[in-house]
């Protein structure tokens, strides 16, 4: 075994004796920003979220609760789970909001849906990031119920992943779990038959809150 190894290594050395080191090249430059902002950035986010078969509605800051109530009516929802840190102005009238202070899996399964905020959203990929903090709530809250209604403020939308990573650094240092949500939970079998709701909510409804131009949705 030793003789064979030495023979092989010897051949390699002879074959590479005149080899030159590869030329030095500059390291690849990756994008750290997206050259899109303002209304165009929000348009991109809405477009990408819709690609995942999720619903996005835009409302002014004072209309978030009404938009959530509309989503509940559309989906026949009367009981929503919500994290304790959810802003009061987002809680809809006429819908029972059950605060998740350690609800069991069975109790979560008995809810019609979950209402949360988020840590941020990524326009290029249509992704929502939950960080386990006050507005995002526990990971279980957004995995067990069949509907997830997520309220996102316009200034939480960033362009691309590197920008998101920068903003999420405090959550990482604090050891909080990060969940990246790109549309409703879905999977496909070998024939590419899409099935939704297997590993999480079957339906995602996004309420995008901000000051929008007249005539916008």
The answer to whether 97 and 116 have CB atoms below 8 angstroms apart is: no
pLDDT of amino acid 189: 60
Topology of the domain covering 34-209: Rossmann fold (3.40.50)
Is the pLDDT confidence value at 133 over 60?
yes
* Residues whose CB is less than 8 angstroms from the CB of residue 49 and which lie 6 or more positions away in sequence, other chains included: 56, 126, 183, 204, 206
Domain locations in the chain as residue ranges: 34-209
pLDDT of amino acid 215: 45
pLDDT of amino acid 20: 85
**pTM across the whole model:** 0.81
| Higher per-residue confidence, 196 vs 211 | 211
Residue 25's pLDDT band (cuts 50, 70, 90): confident
Is the pLDDT confidence value at 216 over 60?
no
What is the percent of the chain with per-residue pLDDT over 90, rounded to a whole number? 71
């Amino acid at each position: 075994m030793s003789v064979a190894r030495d023979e092989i290594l010897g051949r390699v050395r002879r074959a590479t004796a005149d080899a030159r080191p590869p030329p030095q090249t500059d390291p690849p430059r990756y994008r750290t920003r997206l050259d899109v902002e303002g209304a165009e950035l929000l348009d991109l986010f809405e477009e990408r979220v819709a690609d995942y078969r999720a619903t996005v509605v835009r409302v002014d800051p004072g209309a978030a609760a009404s938009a959530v109530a509309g989503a509940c009516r559309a989906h026949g929802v009367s009981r929503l789970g919500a994290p304790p840190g959810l802003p009061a102005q987002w809680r809809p009238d006429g819908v029972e909001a059950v605060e998740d202070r350690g609800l069991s899996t069975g109790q979560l399964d008995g809810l019609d849906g979950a209402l949360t905020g988020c840590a941020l959203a990524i326009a290029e990929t249509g992704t929502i990031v939950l960080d386990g903090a006050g507005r995002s709530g526990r990971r279980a809250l957004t995995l067990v119920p069949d509907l997830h209604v997520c309220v996102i403020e316009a200034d939480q939308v960033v362009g691309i992943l590197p920008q998101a990573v920068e903003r999420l650094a405090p959550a990482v240092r604090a050891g909080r779990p990060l969940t990246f949500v790109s549309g409703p939970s879905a999977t496909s079998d070998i024939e590419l038959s899409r099935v939704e709701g297997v590993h999480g909510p079957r339906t995602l409804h996004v309420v995008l809150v901000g000051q929008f131009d007249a005539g916008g949705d």
